[in-house]
Structure 1
Amino acid sequence: MAQIPVLVASAIILHLLWRLVRNYLVKSPLDVIPGPPSGSIIGGNMYQMFEHNSWDFHDHLILTYGPVAKIHSFFGAKWLNVYDPKALHSIFLKDQDNYYQGEEAVTSVRLSIGPGLLGTHGAQHKKQRKMLNPVFSGAQMRNLTPLFYDVVGKLRVAIETRVKEGPRDVDVVGWMGRTALELVGQGGLGYSFDPLIAESRDEFAEAVKAFVPAFTDYPWIRFVTPYLSYFGPAWFRRFLLDLVPIKGIQRLKQIVDTIQRRSEEIYRAKKAAIEKGDIDLLNAVGEGKDVMSVLLRENVKASIEDRLSDEEVLAQMGTFIVAGVDTTSNALSRILHLLSQNQDIQDQLRAELHAAQEQYGKDIPYDELGALPYLDAVCRETLRLWTPVNLSSRQATTDTVLPLSQPLHCTDGTVLTEVPIPKGTMFFLNLRACNTWKELWGEDAQEWKPERWLKPLPKAVEDAHIPGIYANLVTFISGGHSCIGFKFSQLEMKVVLSTLVSNFKFELSDKPIFWNFAGIAYPTTSHESSRPEMTLKVSLASR
């Protein structure tokens, strides 16, 4: 038995060496695509793409090589960095069945949080999507609005307690993380992680907060997960994992175990309550209006062929948490950072919020909140310029052709209007690059200007048919793998901002703020640190 892992490891090493030789010696139609030189024989451009301060490399990649460029991945694999709108439309929408997230992405997500929306593709993904779409409807978000205001009201009290005697430095990203987790907890799972008004420690909450940073510290994990199945059954792979002498990997294992264990406890309790007639849910957090409770009720009513398994439903809980907490909390932190740098915009937003509160009350209703033009403009502009997730990955499932909106000048002198794509080709779909492309958005595309949304968008944007479900942006992408919870996220952001900006003034503190390039961009006090932190000076706002 002990020889099996050695034999498997040897086979994997030989396979990787074969890939290295094949990728460097076998000709590919992608060879003539322009792009930066490889950073190393083994790692290609991957370190340059994903180290914490890789913004300059990405800007160089975008500005120098344009909307379609070749980059080098591990072991000489040739990938494409794409932000051409016509190409994105093909990948996300028109020809979406020719692509999926890729074996590495799907396998790593499936192993860590289960076969939910982020860990499935094809027929299984479509089945889950069909069940989940109604759960995230506008009507459901309207039902959640009072709950959201209740949670954010506790955040307001917590900050007010700290600044009532005068301006004070506050770790804003910490508070945004706690709030987003509680909103996803109560609104998504019907579970309270954090009372907000007091310091608290919850094992589940701590694990959730640590999940994304733990994975960010080991980006190579996703590239090795496809090989894990070769090491035998799950129990044996777990035995081998326990032997790995890397402290961070053991910590990551504990985080995943904690999330899965507590998620299952919550799920079993909810399922039992629904089977007993929902009586317990009416007295629970969220009163049974949370996404998971609604999903469970709908799943029970669904036909056998449409019904999701317990494993699939349970996996959605991890998906809600992983996809919904850091993305929204870091987007909110980015907005507050930008407002601190632009006091005139902050004042204008506060004036709009005060006027709305005088008309509708302290808690602006769902429809009226969504209709506030300047609040909406601030959110859209931030999600345009600084999308929390900069890159989305895809892999071609078949030989196909990628159409382009403008000719591509290749290194051999040829000019392409479409690119032949071999089966297995991997893509980085550069969301921020498309959102900030000057040819579409104008010369001020790299500037944060909320007012651009208060007038008609450039004709080039309208004509490009950008494949997005939100505001002509690819921030939430489009097609069968678009962000199903974007309305949930939008409601979170607007409830938090309407409460905080109307009550507090945010200014820069003496502490530096650096935004790190990662799976989800996050702030620290230096690029050497991996601890999320963003300190702003907060004071009571005058009416």
Structure 2
Amino acid sequence: MLATEYGPTAQITGFLGRKQLYTFDPKAMHHILVKDGALFQPHRIDGPLLFGKGLLSTIGEQHRKQRKMLNPVFSIAHMRSMMPIFNNVVDQLRNALTERVQNGAREIDLLGWMARTALELIGQSGFGYSFDNMVDDVPRHEYSIVIKDLAPALARLAFARFYLLPLALKILPTYALTFIMNITPWKSLHDVRDMVNYMHELSVEVYEEKKCAFEEGDEAVVKQIGKGKDLLSIMMKENRKADSEDKLEEAEIIAQMSTFIFAAMDTTSSGLSRILHLLTLHPEVQDKMRDELIAARREHQGSQLSYDELVGLPYLDAVCRETLRLYAPVSSLLRKSTEDAIVPLSRPVRDADGNEVTEIFLPKATTVMISIMNANRDPKLWGPDVLEWKPERWLSPLPEAIMNSKMPGVYSHLMTFNGGSRSCIGFKFSQLEMKVVIAMLVENFKFSTPQNKEIFWQMSGIASPVVVGGGNFGHPQLPLIVELAKGD
């Protein structure tokens, strides 16, 4: 393993022999993502082609302008107002699972249901739009299928996206690339094109419906699914009252919709599925969490927990944090230096001549790979038990080493949600999703692993579970035994 052999920082060789920097050194990451973040841009040359002018695609002043507009949208106050929407969706999930197991335990693919739930949560709370009735065995809305297939389709084009496309963009305008893409007999390429076009068309449709509702007045907006409290409604309200220099173009607002769904759905469903799988491997943790949830419900006379009551549950919070530490859905992120740069290190390394160095010179256009996984699993910061899944570590003070490390992550001294000006803007939204869903599931159901199936987690951009053996290996799925939890 690279980290074991070379430590937190190493020079590696990439495509065509190009030198790249690999690191999870806290000081180096802080420099790259925070202090000199403007010099290290995302390595996503295809972003504008996939998602338009959204947060994942824009850089510089345009990105700062969008963050300024969107930061209030993800405020704690707005998260609180979304609780009824979240509860409505998880009630649909509870009813669907209850119907399937009311006559006894049953094996169910929880990954599929977590993906459907994540999409419906972002649909209703994000845009005031429903993608799924959460009743049928398979989702009927085409968007559910498209968004599920997009990440694997992009993975099949990885070489073209990361190596051929940058070269093409240097010599060809976008319209020429579009023409070439349309006439090239490459099914995978056409599949991605069709998916992206469909996502954009639906985003425009939802935006236009919301725009018409606003023109009709507040009453029309409140009648929609999100009741005017969804992210899109809030974003449009903020944009309408913003100064002219701060306003976003319609194309920018529309682009955020596909951006939010793509960024949130697979990562959230991966995180939820990982927690459920871990709870089957650690039934004592599942029981302890259920006890906490039942006690909290009893304390509030059986009513739905409020935002503050839910996020204040210590053991639920510890399970979520520990899972996101040890099993981040995304294992790494890429940056590219826009000019020559010097990156300082907190832990010196030795160069090819054996000399100790405390900083590294990076020529312009050097690719930097930041290891999220190893940053979260660094034994020098987290201690010798770093590879153990121990929710209890979050119920007492963390090691001084991690507290003093100046880890640039935006969340809990972790790199799971990135750091700096391009950190995940919706990380609080994602946390709330996970807690609402897991709380409902664990309180109402008991989960165990099928005896005849071994579950393995593969990393293909985003971590996903598969069943080892059989004729369907490689197809993401999480078959678990689900039964109604016995009341006290």
TM-score by length of 1: 0.86
- 1:343 deviation in Å? 0.4
- 1:319 deviation in Å? 0.7
Residue 108 of structure 1 contacts residue 221 of structure 1 at CA under 8 Å; is this kept in 2? no
* 3-state secondary structure, aligned to 1:354: helix
Cα deviation per residue 1:172-191 (whole Å; 9 max; x = unaligned)?
10000000000010111111
- 1:407 deviation in Å? 1.1
**1:338, 1:430 → 2: CA distance?**
23
Cα deviation per residue 1:439-483 (whole Å; 9 max; x = unaligned)?
010111011000000011011111111111211111112211010
**2:176, 2:337 → 1: CA distance?**
32
Structure 2 equivalent of residue 145 of structure 1:
83
Indicate whether 1:478 and 2:419 are aligned. Answer: yes
- 1:124 deviation in Å? 0.6
Indicate whether 1:531 and 2:472 are aligned. Answer: no
Query: Of residues 134, 139, 150 in structure 2, which corresponds to 1:196?
Result: 134
Structure 1 equivalent of residue 456 of structure 2:
514
**1:479, 1:232 → 2: CA distance?**
33
- 1:228 deviation in Å? 3.8
- 1:218 deviation in Å? 2.3
* 3-state secondary structure, aligned to 2:411: coil
Structure 1 equivalent of residue 161 of structure 2:
222
Cα deviation per residue 1:471-518 (whole Å; 9 max; x = unaligned)?
111111221101000011011000001100000011011222121112
* 3-state secondary structure, aligned to 1:499: helix
* 3-state secondary structure, aligned to 1:286: coil
Indicate whether 1:304 and 2:244 are aligned. Answer: yes
Distance 1:470 1:300, change over 3 A: same
- 1:109 deviation in Å? 1.4
Residue 31 of structure 2 contacts residue 37 of structure 2 at CA under 8 Å; is this kept in 1? yes
**2:322, 2:331 → 1: CA distance?**
15
Structure 2 equivalent of residue 56 of structure 1:
none
Letter in 2 for 1:254: D
Query: Of residues 256, 262, 286 in structure 2, which corresponds to 1:322?
Result: 262
Structure 1 equivalent of residue 6 of structure 2:
65
- 1:423 deviation in Å? 1.3
Structure 1 equivalent of residue 485 of structure 2:
541
Query: Of residues 307, 311, 325 in structure 2, which corresponds to 1:370?
Result: 311
Indicate whether 1:338 and 2:282 are aligned. Answer: no
RMSD (Å), alpha carbons: 1.4
- 1:532 deviation in Å? 1.7
* 3-state secondary structure, aligned to 2:414: coil
**2:66, 2:389 → 1: CA distance?**
37
Cα deviation per residue 1:15-55 (whole Å; 9 max; x = unaligned)?
xxxxxxxxxxxxxxxxxxxxxxxxxxxxxxxxxxxxxxxxx
Structure 1 equivalent of residue 152 of structure 2:
213
Query: Of residues 271, 275, 282 in structure 1, which corresponds to 2:222?
Result: 282
Indicate whether 1:353 and 2:293 are aligned. Answer: yes
- 1:75 deviation in Å? 1.1
Distance 1:526 1:258, change over 3 A: farther
* 3-state secondary structure, aligned to 2:416: coil
Cα deviation per residue 1:54-107 (whole Å; 9 max; x = unaligned)?
xxxxxx0111111001222211111111100111111111221221113xx1x2
**1:241, 1:425 → 2: CA distance?**
28
Query: Of residues 402, 406, 425 in structure 1, which corresponds to 2:343?
Result: 402
**1:275, 1:189 → 2: CA distance?**
17
* Count of paired positions: 481
Structure 2 equivalent of residue 36 of structure 1:
none
Comparing 451-460 and 513-522, the one that deviates more: 513-522
Query: Of residues 314, 324, 329 in structure 2, which corresponds to 1:383?
Result: 324
Distance 1:221 1:290, change over 3 A: farther
Distance 1:234 1:89, change over 3 A: closer
- 1:233 deviation in Å? 4.8
Distance 1:261 1:529, change over 3 A: farther
Structure 1 equivalent of residue 49 of structure 2:
111
Residue 213 of structure 1 contacts residue 530 of structure 1 at CA under 8 Å; is this kept in 2? no
Residue 338 of structure 2 contacts residue 364 of structure 2 at CA under 8 Å; is this kept in 1? yes
Letter in 1 for 2:159: W
Comparing 528-537 and 511-520, the one that deviates more: 528-537
Comparing 229-238 and 195-204, the one that deviates more: 229-238
Residue 391 of structure 1 contacts residue 430 of structure 1 at CA under 8 Å; is this kept in 2? yes
**1:272, 1:109 → 2: CA distance?**
29
Residue 260 of structure 1 contacts residue 318 of structure 1 at CA under 8 Å; is this kept in 2? yes
Residue 467 of structure 2 contacts residue 474 of structure 2 at CA under 8 Å; is this kept in 1? no
Indicate whether 1:418 and 2:359 are aligned. Answer: yes
Structure 2 equivalent of residue 44 of structure 1:
none
Higher strand share: 2
Letter in 1 for 2:324: L
TM-score by length of 2: 0.96
Residue 231 of structure 1 contacts residue 237 of structure 1 at CA under 8 Å; is this kept in 2? no
Percent of aligned positions that are identical: 47
Trace 1:25-174 onto structure 2 (pairs within 5 A). 60-102=1-43, 105=44, 107-174=45-112
Distance 1:434 1:142, change over 3 A: same
**1:280, 1:64 → 2: CA distance?**
61
- 1:422 deviation in Å? 1.2
**1:269, 1:189 → 2: CA distance?**
10
Comparing 160-169 and 215-224, the one that deviates more: 215-224
Comparing 201-210 and 519-528, the one that deviates more: 519-528
Q: Which runs of 4+ in 1 moved over 6 A?
A: none
List alignment gaps of at least 5 residues for structure 2: none
